[in-house]
Amino acid sequence: MVSNGPRRHDESMSNEQNSSVLELQSYLDRSPSPFHAVSNAQNLLLAAGFTEFSERERWTDTLGKYFVIRDGSLFAWDASSKDSFENGFRIIGAHTDSPNLRLKSSQQRSSLSYGQLSIETYGSPLLNSWLDRDLGISGRVILSGGNKEELLFHTNEPVCRIPQLAIHLDRGLNDKGLQLNPQSHLTPIWADSSNGSQSFNDWLGDQLSIATDEISAWDLMLHDTQPSEYLGANKQWIASARIDNLVSCYAAISALCDSADESSEKTPLVCLFNHEEVGSVSSAGASGQFLVGTLERLMNGMTIESRSKAFANSLCLSVDGSHANHPNYPERHDPDHIVHLNRGIVIKRNANQRYATDAIGEAIVKDLCERESIPYQLFSNRNDLSCGSTIGPTTAASLGVRTIDLGVPQLSMHSIRELCGVLDQTYLKLFCSAFFLAETTTS
């Protein structure tokens, strides 16, 4: 379903839209790992006047514009007064991780004359999309020593590649389909081992300008080095890696920064979580205590009655990508829930609580969209296909706060390179800003 209300933003979209897309593209290109996504969000917050808190220090005053970071996750808020907490929080949650290939802890692999990288799959990537791509390496490196200093690492240039087997050596490929064994067929080549090339650890130390023995451990992953681009006859789409779910992260942080000096009875929060693609079960994931524990510290000194009132008055958005209808596979979509690129944000519903949206939540989003002239669509999965999920249900369960799942429609979800609409990312950012400032009720 597509709303039929006016779309006043379309008339003035060109310049504002182009600026918004360029900023989003910069964020996408500079965030090849969850740690970079958080670091770049941190820079946006600092530029908007936010201050970083350490979880290890005592928080004597949580009023103002602050944020905390933990292992690829970030929590930011703008609190005017403790009394405003009872009026409720406006929470936007998204996730910083994307399905990809990650480097194992030990790199000793070689075959024939090739040095290869030992990898494991993270989440549920479309494995075939990683073949014959120019790949870089990114993530964080932990230094030896008591402080466990963390260095961000990101190669802009290609380092490795997973070459596909030539059709001459697998004549039946196009008939039987591509079958990939992650252990055997997805090991990238990165060096020529016949001429005594460096070990991976030595190479990494050189890239970081440190001694090899200073490297203690890492969380490193592969990424596509091709930058994001406009696509389409009218440049109506964005093609990029990690659209799922950095488009949502950028919209949430940008909306918080833009609304920081605006007056609202509610307290705006943004939670960007790591590890959503593998179930959110970690100390930094949405199923952990990062969100709940930080809220407890914010509300320190409030009575149980005041806290209960605060949560009852609160509302949470779980913002994540949604499936657009695929033109080559129309039978994979519910015929009553047609979703198009560039026709608005998508409200996601599932009766089995794979998405957290209920009828009241859907109505709240529709009302806000109609007030702000933002188009929206409705998504529901086919009954005979399993449904994905988000941080929405686990956040709703842990906080007891009404939660709504929505996001921008996209094609090629979980591919190394995904596709979304130029207009939709603008609609999402507008909606997130309106959500923070609107005096919406929760029931």
Secondary structure class of 40 (helix, strand, coil):
helix
Would you state the pLDDT for residue 10? 43
Which residues on adjacent β-strands are paired with residue 293?
none
Secondary structure class of 437 (helix, strand, coil):
helix
Would you state the pLDDT for residue 271? 98
- Give 111-132 as a DSSP string: ETTEEE--EEEES---GGGGTT
Can you tell me the distance from the alpha carbon of 236 to that of 342, in angstroms, rounded to the nearest whole number?
A: 8
Can you tell me the distance from the alpha carbon of 132 to that of 205, in angstroms, rounded to the nearest whole number?
A: 27
Alpha-carbon distance values, 7 to 4, 42, 204, 363 (Å): 9, 33, 51, 19
Tell me the pLDDT of the chain (443 aa) as tens digits. Answer: 444 433 344 444 567 778 889 999 999 999 999 999 999 999 999 999 999 999 999 998 899 999 999 999 999 999 987 778 999 999 999 999 999 999 999 998 777 789 999 999 999 999 999 999 999 999 999 999 888 899 999 999 999 999 999 999 999 999 999 999 999 999 999 998 766 678 999 999 999 999 999 999 999 999 999 999 999 999 999 999 999 999 999 999 999 999 877 767 899 999 999 999 999 999 999 999 999 999 999 998 899 999 999 999 999 999 999 999 999 999 999 999 999 999 999 999 999 999 999 999 999 999 999 999 999 999 999 999 988 899 999 999 999 999 999 999 999 999 999 999 999 999 999 999 999 998 766 65
Would you state the pLDDT for residue 434? 96
Q: What are phi and psi of 29, to 5 degrees?
A: -70, -30
> Residue 163's CB: how many other CB atoms inside 10 A?
10
Would you state the pLDDT for residue 351? 95
Q: Could you tell me if 430 and 269 are in contact, meaning their C-beta atoms sit under 8 angstroms apart?
A: no
Annotate 224-272 with three-state secondary structure: ECCCCEEECCCCCEEEECCHHHHHHHHHHHHHHHHHCCCCCCCEEEEEE
Would you state the pLDDT for residue 2? 46
Domains of the chain: 8-98+241-437 (3.40.630.10), 103-224 (2.30.250.10)
Q: Which two tokens stand for residue 154?
A: 């990101």
Would you state the pLDDT for residue 196? 65
Burial 65-79 (b: 16+ CB within 10 A, else e): bbbbbbbbbbbbbbb
Q: Which two tokens stand for residue 272?
A: 């960007």
Nearest to 411 by CA among 332, 340, 324: 324
Can you tell me the distance from the alpha carbon of 314 to that of 395, in angstroms, rounded to the nearest whole number?
A: 12
Q: What is the pTM of this model?
A: 0.94
Q: Could you tell me if 155 and 141 are in contact, meaning their C-beta atoms sit under 8 angstroms apart?
A: no
The H or E element that residue 308 is part of is: helix 304-312
- Residue 219 burial by CB count (10 A; 0-12/13-18/19+): exposed, middle or buried? buried
Would you state the pLDDT for residue 178? 93
- Residue 152 burial by CB count (10 A; 0-12/13-18/19+): exposed, middle or buried? middle
Which residues on adjacent β-strands are paired with residue 122?
100
Secondary structure class of 347 (helix, strand, coil):
strand
DSSP label at residue 374: -
Q: How far apart are the first and last CA of the chain?
A: 23
Beta strands in 61-154 (DSSP E): 64-70, 73-79, 89-95, 100-103, 110-111, 114-116, 119-122, 135-143, 150-154
Q: Could you tell me if 402 and 360 are in contact, meaning their C-beta atoms sit under 8 angstroms apart?
A: yes
The H or E element that residue 301 is part of is: none
Q: Could you tell me if 93 and 174 are in contact, meaning their C-beta atoms sit under 8 angstroms apart?
A: no
Q: What are phi and psi of 45, to 5 degrees?
A: -65, -45
Would you state the pLDDT for residue 193? 77
> Residue 106's CB: how many other CB atoms inside 10 A?
9
Nearest to 416 by CA among 191, 46, 99: 99
Which residues on adjacent β-strands are paired with residue 410?
323, 420
Would you state the pLDDT for residue 260? 77
Would you state the pLDDT for residue 45? 98
Can you tell me the distance from the alpha carbon of 284 to that of 272, in angstroms, rounded to the nearest whole number?
A: 9
